[in-house]
Amino acid sequence: MTRSSSDLDFLQQWRHTLAPYNLGYKLKLASQLMYRDFLERLEPCGLTPFHYLVLCCREEDGLSTTGIADKLKQLGATLTGVVDRMEERNLVCRERNSSTARLK
Protein backbone atom coordinates (compact mmCIF):
# COMPACT_ATOMS: atom_id res chain seq x y z
CA MET A 1 0.00 0.00 0.00
CA THR A 2 1.46 3.34 -1.01
CA ARG A 3 0.76 6.54 0.80
CA SER A 4 -0.39 9.64 -0.92
CA SER A 5 1.64 12.82 -0.73
CA SER A 6 -1.03 14.40 1.49
CA ASP A 7 -0.62 11.50 3.96
CA LEU A 8 3.14 11.96 3.94
CA ASP A 9 2.76 15.72 4.38
CA PHE A 10 0.45 15.12 7.33
CA LEU A 11 2.94 12.69 8.93
CA GLN A 12 5.84 15.04 8.30
CA GLN A 13 3.90 17.87 9.97
CA TRP A 14 3.62 15.79 13.18
CA ARG A 15 7.10 14.25 13.03
CA HIS A 16 8.53 16.61 15.67
CA THR A 17 5.99 15.37 18.22
CA LEU A 18 7.04 11.75 17.93
CA ALA A 19 9.88 10.04 19.78
CA PRO A 20 12.82 10.35 19.24
CA TYR A 21 12.31 13.83 17.81
CA ASN A 22 10.35 15.65 20.49
CA LEU A 23 11.95 17.61 23.31
CA GLY A 24 10.18 15.69 26.09
CA TYR A 25 11.64 12.40 24.88
CA LYS A 26 15.12 13.91 24.64
CA LEU A 27 14.87 15.37 28.16
CA LYS A 28 13.68 12.04 29.54
CA LEU A 29 16.57 10.24 27.87
CA ALA A 30 19.09 12.78 29.17
CA SER A 31 17.64 12.42 32.67
CA GLN A 32 17.92 8.62 32.54
CA LEU A 33 21.53 8.83 31.35
CA MET A 34 22.45 11.30 34.10
CA TYR A 35 20.74 9.14 36.76
CA ARG A 36 22.60 6.04 35.51
CA ASP A 37 25.89 7.95 35.73
CA PHE A 38 24.97 9.12 39.25
CA LEU A 39 24.25 5.51 40.33
CA GLU A 40 27.56 4.34 38.87
CA ARG A 41 29.42 7.00 40.85
CA LEU A 42 27.64 6.10 44.12
CA GLU A 43 27.97 2.31 43.71
CA PRO A 44 31.69 2.00 44.64
CA CYS A 45 30.89 3.78 47.91
CA GLY A 46 27.96 1.47 48.63
CA LEU A 47 25.54 4.41 48.61
CA THR A 48 22.08 4.88 47.19
CA PRO A 49 20.67 8.18 45.95
CA PHE A 50 18.68 8.43 49.21
CA HIS A 51 21.86 7.96 51.28
CA TYR A 52 23.42 10.77 49.26
CA LEU A 53 20.49 13.07 50.03
CA VAL A 54 20.75 12.30 53.74
CA LEU A 55 24.49 13.01 53.67
CA CYS A 56 23.84 16.32 51.89
CA CYS A 57 21.42 17.29 54.66
CA ARG A 58 23.93 16.25 57.30
CA GLU A 59 26.27 19.02 56.14
CA GLU A 60 24.28 21.11 58.59
CA ASP A 61 25.81 19.88 61.86
CA GLY A 62 23.38 19.14 64.63
CA LEU A 63 20.39 18.66 62.34
CA SER A 64 18.06 16.15 63.96
CA THR A 65 16.63 13.12 62.20
CA THR A 66 13.29 14.91 62.27
CA GLY A 67 14.91 17.95 60.66
CA ILE A 68 16.34 15.79 57.90
CA ALA A 69 12.96 14.07 57.44
CA ASP A 70 11.29 17.47 57.11
CA LYS A 71 13.83 18.62 54.53
CA LEU A 72 13.43 15.44 52.50
CA LYS A 73 9.65 15.28 52.98
CA GLN A 74 9.94 11.79 54.46
CA LEU A 75 8.32 10.13 57.46
CA GLY A 76 10.60 10.14 60.48
CA ALA A 77 10.19 6.38 60.98
CA THR A 78 11.30 5.70 57.41
CA LEU A 79 14.37 7.87 57.81
CA THR A 80 15.29 6.49 61.23
CA GLY A 81 15.92 3.01 59.79
CA VAL A 82 18.03 4.44 56.99
CA VAL A 83 20.07 6.59 59.40
CA ASP A 84 20.49 3.60 61.75
CA ARG A 85 22.04 1.57 58.93
CA MET A 86 24.18 4.54 57.86
CA GLU A 87 25.41 4.92 61.44
CA GLU A 88 26.36 1.20 61.53
CA ARG A 89 28.52 1.85 58.46
CA ASN A 90 30.07 4.98 60.08
CA LEU A 91 28.57 7.25 57.42
CA VAL A 92 26.90 9.43 60.06
CA CYS A 93 27.42 9.99 63.75
CA ARG A 94 24.50 10.72 66.04
CA GLU A 95 24.63 12.31 69.48
CA ARG A 96 22.02 12.54 72.19
CA ASN A 97 20.30 15.89 72.49
CA SER A 98 20.77 16.80 76.15
CA SER A 99 17.52 18.76 76.32
CA THR A 100 15.29 15.97 75.02
CA ALA A 101 17.42 12.83 75.60
CA ARG A 102 16.79 11.92 71.97
CA LEU A 103 19.32 11.11 69.32
CA LYS A 104 20.03 13.83 66.83
Is the whole model's pTM more than 0.85, yes or no? no
| CATH number assigned to the domain covering 46-104 | 1.10.10
Q: Is residue 27's pLDDT more than 60?
A: yes
Q: pLDDT category, 30, cuts 50, 70, 90?
A: very high
Domain extents for the chain?
1-45, 46-104
For residue range 48-103, list pLDDT tens digits in order.
Answer: 999 998 888 866 667 788 888 888 888 777 788 888 999 999 988 887 766 655 55
| CA terminus-to-terminus distance, the chain | 71
Q: What is the model's pLDDT at position 104?
A: 47
**Cβ(66)–Cβ(24) under 8 Å?**
no
**Residue 45 DSSP symbol:** G
CB count in 10 Å sphere of residue 50: 14
